[in-house]
Every structure is written in structure tokens, then in C-alpha cells.
Amino acid sequence: MPTGMNFWDTGMWSFIITLTILLTCMMVANFLRRVIKPLRRSLIPSSVLGGFLALFADFIFKKITGNSMFNPVMLEALTYHGLGLGFAAVALKTTERKIVGDSKKDIMNYGLTTVSAYVLQGAIGIAIMLILGLFLSDTFPAAGLLLPMGYGQGPGQAYNWGHTYEVLWGFEHGTSFGLTLAATGFISASVGGIFYLERLKRKGLVKNTFEDEIVASEEDEENKPAKGEIPLSESMDKLTVQVALVLISYALAYLFMWGINKIIEAGILGTFGTNTLQPLIWGFNFLISTVFAVLVKTFLRFLKKKKIMKREYTSNFMQNRISGFMFDIMVVASIAAIKLSAFQHRSFIIPIIALSVAGCVFTYIQCDFIAKRLFKGYEHESFLALYGMLTGTASTGIILLREIDPYFSTPAATNLVYQQLYAILFGFPVLLLLGFAPQSNTNLWITFIVLIVLLAVYTVLLFRDSIFKKKKKTA
């Protein structure tokens, strides 16, 4: 008897079937957004709406057949790897920085705003969970830290850390908890974004054109291959080359993480390795994949400089398409992976509602306060870009920004791209707390205090010019 898998076995087709269902749901969602005006005005991305359609379809399917349409492990794998592969594709793009003067300061302020929002969301999350713990016996206080992961970081990180808390620290339904927060984050982005746009419209400050796309001339410009790029098709197709570069970068990241994991498993780093470093390394696979993608890009530049390689192998247009596809798959799979059965527990529903509402309100207030004071001249564009990103993903921020700046004529879109380096730099201390907080109640309180201190520090850095100017005047 043959031991291999037969072509007609379900396992042979499950991956293709899963992708087909997810992509079909996105296509249907996109069609609905086009034909139903309230949906179009909601600004909810097609991938998010598609995820909810998949979730609803799976719910109906379970009621009829008793089985799920999806393999939950496959959905979680698509969420996890979609994030890492998408960031690798973004990092492989070639960029020409033309940033001078005040734009450098604004980019740094965007990065500081991003991290201060993570810190604020984390502190509020812990505070809410500690208060709820006084009334609900089976809460998991460290789950408050999933608020910045779901809102500030998006579905990929919400899954990563929700899963980590579930597996390592016994947070029941932790994966679904994190993914649900990410899903409500997209709703918050839509609600807050529409509210802000309507306020501007009533004041006569903007004529929003809901769903205004980038003009064709800009798309045509983007589609043009850069000088010296490899042709679309020769012995190896151009798209194949781009996908290969992404996968090579991601595989190198995996080898690095695997090597660190071997050191941890050897016990050299003790409990710090297993309790803090291990979940941190695997939870932030997207950051490590970004680093290795940059190294791959640098290596290709070196080969070209030495004239060993004569053509440009990376294509910005195709890497944009790859990252867009990966992020769409990540979002739709993450929402489809939410386990609705978890909502049967009262201890799950109340924290989700409290965290979601608080995340929406406080992020809105913070972004509005900062944008009006630090980004004068394009404060409305900055608010929409930052608020959209800090409740959904960077693409959600761009969707909101397009409503009043369809041609990206203000620096808001550029700032959103280049602020990542500052966000990683200033956000690193916050990352360490994610694996530290759930280990004990003492650690949780220490984390809460550290977040309050960091919020104060980042606020001073954000408003450093006005603070130090006042000191000079009084002196």
C-alpha cells in the first residue's frame, strides 16, 4: 500500500480550498462595498469585511453540518506568516530618501506618537483589566496588553501574543481574544474616521469623496519599471524572482530565530530565555524578517556596485503587490479564525467591550491632541493617518488619509512610511514588557508603572520644543 497522500485526499486540497474561500469572501466584500453606499461610506477595508463574511459563513456551515469550513491551524498559520512575509516584501523595496529640515523632525514625531499610543493603550488596557478583576473572578489581567497589539499593531501581532498568552500562561481563548480586539480595532478606525470626516465636512473644511482612489496617472507611473530592472519574463519570470527574494529573506529570519531558540532550549539564559525572550523572538517574526530583507537588499546592492550583478532585481511595484496580498490574506484569515464560542463566557465579553471602547476613545483623543499641536498645516491629514494606523493597520491609515488627500500632496503618507525606524527604536522597551508582565501580579504592576513613566517620557520628547522654549524664556 502506498504511504503517500493521494490526489483525492482532502489534505491535498485543504490549503487551496481555504485560500479560495478567503479570497472569494474578499471578492464578495469588495462587490458589496461598491454597490451598497453605507458600506462604501463605512471605510471598512474589503479584507476586514471579507473576514466577517467568512466568519459568518463558517458559523452557518457549522450549524448545518456540525463541522467548520476551516482548519484553525491553517488560518492561524496564514495570519502569522502573512505578517512576516508582508513586512519582508515592504523592506525589499528600494527607496530614495529626500528628507530634509523639518520633515525629519515630523517623521520622528510620527514615530514617537506611534509608540506613545502603544504605551497609552497598554496602560489603559492593564488598568481596565485590573478593575474588572475586582468584579470578575476569572480575568487574565495581562490581557490588557493585547489592546496595543490588536489596535496599534494589528491582527498579526494580536494573534502572536494572544496565542503566546494562551499557550504559555494559560489564558483561555487568548488567541481569539487578541484577534477579536484587532477586529474591533478596524471598526473603531471606521467609526472614529467617519466621525472626524463628518466634523470637517460640517465646518466646510473638506469635501470628502468617500472611496476616492489614486488617479490613473499615478498608477501608471508606479507600474513603470525602474531603469535597469530585469525584464518581465525571461528564463525566470520577474514575479518569481520577487517571491523568491521574499521567501529567502523570511527563511533567513527563521534560521536566525531557530538558532536563538536552540540557545534558549539549552537553558543558558534560564527562565528569562523561556519566559521572556522566546515568545519575544517568535512573536516579532515580522521585525526579524524586515531586518533580513534589508540585509538581502544590501547584499544585492553590493553585488551591483561590484558589477557582479548588472541589473536591478527588486521591483517596487511587484513588492507592493506581494505585500498587499500578504496583508489582505493576514487580515481576512485572522478575522475568520475568531472563535465565536468564546463569547459564551461572560468574562470574555465585558473585557472586550471595555477595552475596545476605551481603545477607540483614548486613541482618538490622543491623536487629535498631538496632530493639532505638532503637525500644523496638515493636522487633519496627520490625525486620519495616525488614528487609522493606531486602531487598524498602516493601510487603514492610508484609506482614511485618501478621503481628504487622495494625491498624497501633504507629508502625512511619507511620514507614515518613514516613522517605522523611530517606532522600533523607541518601542523596544515596550516589547520586552509583553513577556514580562504575565509572569506574576508583581510583574504586572511593575509593567503598569513602567508604562506610565514611558508615557511621560515620550510626551516630553514629543513636545520638547515648546517645553524647552518655555524654560529658556523663564530663565
Mean pLDDT of 353-361: 94
Mark residue 236 as left, alpha or beta (left: phi above 0; alpha: psi -120 to 50; beta: remaining): beta
Mean pLDDT of 20-33: 93
- Closest by CA position to 426, among listed 113, 87, 72, 33: 113
| Alpha-carbon span 297 to 313, nearest angstrom | 9
Q: Minimum mean pLDDT among 87-101, 222-236, 266-280, 393-407: which range? A: 222-236
pTM of the model: 0.75
Torsion angle of the four alpha carbons 222, 224, 229, 231, in this order, in degrees rounded to the nearest 10:
130
* Residue owning grid cell 502573512: 82
What does the buried/exposed string (b/e) look like for 444-469 if buried means 16 or more CB atoms within 10 Å of the residue's CB?
beebbebbbebbeebbeebbeeeeee
* Residue owning grid cell 487551496: 16
∠ CA(458), CA(459), CA(460), 5° rounding? 90
∠ CA(57), CA(58), CA(63), 5° rounding? 100
pLDDT digit string (tens) for 89-122?
878 887 655 544 467 888 899 999 999 999 999 9
* Residue owning grid cell 481569539: 176
Asked if 158 and 179 count as a contact pair (C-beta separation under 8 A), the reply is: yes
Highest mean pLDDT among 131-140, 147-156, 239-248: 239-248
- DSSP-assigned letters across all residues of 248-280: HHHHHHHHHHHHHHHHHHTTTTHHHIIIIIHHH
pLDDT digit string (tens) for 313-326?
888 888 888 888 88
Helices (H) and strands (E) in the chain, counts: 21, 0
